Structure 1
Amino acid sequence: MSYERLAYVYDLLMADVPYKKWLDYLLLEKQRFHIDGMRVLDLACGTGELSILLAKNGFDVTGVDLSGDMLMVAQGKAEREGIELSLYEQNMSELEGLGIYDIAVIFCDSLNYLSTPEDVQKTFSNVHAHLKNGGLFIFDVHSPYKMEHIFMDETFAVAEEEVSYIWNCFPGEHSYSVEHELTFFVREEQSGKYERFEELHKQRTYLIEEYQSWLEDVGFSVEAITADFTDQFPVESSERIFFTCKKK
């Protein structure tokens, strides 16, 4: 998956994404589990919106993303805001050499972009290796319900002056997987004409029990499983599942 062209319009498309909710969720879990340290590893940080919010709230943030283009956008935004971020281009299933952290996060369903159970398991193992003993790992994923009843065979569209898109969702090759076919129309500043480009994004999720088993296998204790930015355990129609884990 390439974000080369998408990176520069990503923030326009994600304008309504509730980054503040992820920040608030992290702050609540940090307080609830008495984590004093402020070093955060923000995996799949994208264009740095959450990383910058974290830094503004006093955290020492390291952001990691697979896309160098996304990181370039993040770096530019941080510099304009006078924010210091450490940014690295790495695959979260192949992390290495990033130091030890108090908290690690993978938010905005980014874990669902990993294509195999093995990649998810390797990511959990790598996160474990980069956390201090007692450190927190917090992440969210799409629920199977969302994959099968919200995304599946649906079409979404947005028409704005600067960027418009058509988003078609198709069944993936595995259970609880979806292929997102996106066609973008981006207005060129000088000519006023619209450039068309396409992206194919694949996401896959798993049952709660599978995530829990993989986390425990690498040495995490699963402290909380909640849904949709609440403190409630998921129900059948929950869309976003949160896991809070602690390194034993």
Structure 2
Amino acid sequence: MMYQTFAYYYDLLMDKSLYQQWLDFTEQRVGTLAGQQILDLACGTGDLASLYAQRQNGNGQVYGVDLSEEMLSLASQRLANDQVDVTLLQGDFRQLSQLDLPPLDLVTCYDDSLCYLTDLSDLTTTFKQVAQVLAPQGTFLFDLHSLYQVNEVFPGYMYNYREEDWAFMWASFAGEASNSVTHDLTFFVWDDALGGYDALNETHHERTYPLATVEAALQTAGFTQIQTFGGFAGEAITATTPRWFVQAQRG
């Protein structure tokens, strides 16, 4: 299961400045978050959900949904430390309507999380589920890896990181499906009992889709007023844009 093995180390590696940028983009697109019912889909360790709740200052409610129990456990600790009220729920993108959610004003899904849906039918199902939990005229904001990022940047990409008692290796390869990539992630964690490093390995598969395909799937799910952007500031998409941002409204 994604990140189930090493959510703690994933959280340590995450560039925390990105969460403020996602918050800024969200407020740029929808305005004040106070008074809104908000869902952070694929909430991970709760950083962005916490920022949402801090912006609300008790006026509104934030929900966080993630598939990983370990991620949600870390999120619960973070939210308690931040002294904010966020309702955490374990669930699948494709089954949101089965969760205990009110009609939502805003759903966000950032950090390329939708790219883990490597089948177009699953992506379309997720869009339909988001539409079901949104109130009429509710807003859906998300991002995706661009075709350039998946097909030109990731294949052959390698990254290594080392601390005193743990190290990380990341290698990416072109996937078998069109516009897909495979990430081989390995953490080496020092184990005193072993007197050596314990290797924790996970393989992640991601896929993106042409924007026209994404927009068609959104329309099938009942979304309108679809807009696309090439960055956190809402800039235009170019041939080398690494991440696409999308805004859509439930019709």
TM normalised by structure 1 equals 0.93
2:47 matched to which residue of 1? 49
Number of aligned residue pairs: give it.
246
CA-to-aligned-CA distance 1:207-227 (integer Å, 9 cap, x gap)? 000000110111111332001
- Counterpart in 2 of 1:14? 14
Change (3 A) 1:189 1:92: farther
RMSD: 1.9
- Distance in 2 of aligned mates of 1:149 and 1:2: 24
Write the distance in 2 (CA, Å) between the matches of 1:191 and 1:57. Answer: 46
| Other structure's SS at 1:9 match | helix
Farther off after superposition, 67-76 or 218-227 = 218-227
Q: Does residue 106 of structure 1 match 2:109?
A: yes
Q: Is the 8 A contact 2:33 2:55 kept in 1?
A: no
Residues of 1 paired with 2:27 and 2:239: CA distance? 27
Quick check: 2:34–2:55 contact (8 Å CA) kept in 1? no
State the match for 1:71 in structure 2. 72
Give 1:81's aligned amino acid.
D
* TM-score, length basis structure 2: 0.92
Query: 1:207 & 1:199 partners in 2: Cα distance?
Result: 27
User: Where does structure 2 lack aligned partners over 5 or more consecutive residues?
Assistant: none
Task: Flag the 1:55–1:155 CA change in 2: closer, same or farther, 3 A.
Answer: same
The aligned runs of 1:59-138 (5 Å cut-off) are 60-95=61-96, 96-97=98-99, 98-138=101-141
Query: Segments of 4+ in structure 1 off by > 3 A?
Result: 34-37, 187-194
Task: Classify the secondary structure of the residue corresponding to 1:234.
Answer: coil
Letter in 2 for 1:164: A
Q: Is the 8 A contact 1:216 1:222 kept in 2?
A: no
Q: What letter matches 2:64 in structure 1?
A: G
Alpha-carbon spacing, 1:229–1:132, altered in 2? closer, same or farther (3 Å):
same
**Contact map agreement 2:27 2:33 (CA 8 A) in 1:** no
Larger mean CA deviation between 55-64 and 35-44 belongs to: 35-44
Distance in 1, Cα, partners of 2:51 & 2:194:
35
Residue 4 of structure 1: CA displacement?
A: 2.6
* Aligned counterparts of 1:236 and 1:170: Cα–Cα separation in 2: 21
Identity %: 34
SS of the aligned residue for 2:23 comes to: helix
Q: Where do residues 1-248 of structure 1 align in structure 2 (5 Å cutoff)?
A: 1-16=1-16, 18-31=18-31, 37-58=35-56, 60-95=61-96, 96-97=98-99, 98-188=101-191, 193-248=196-251
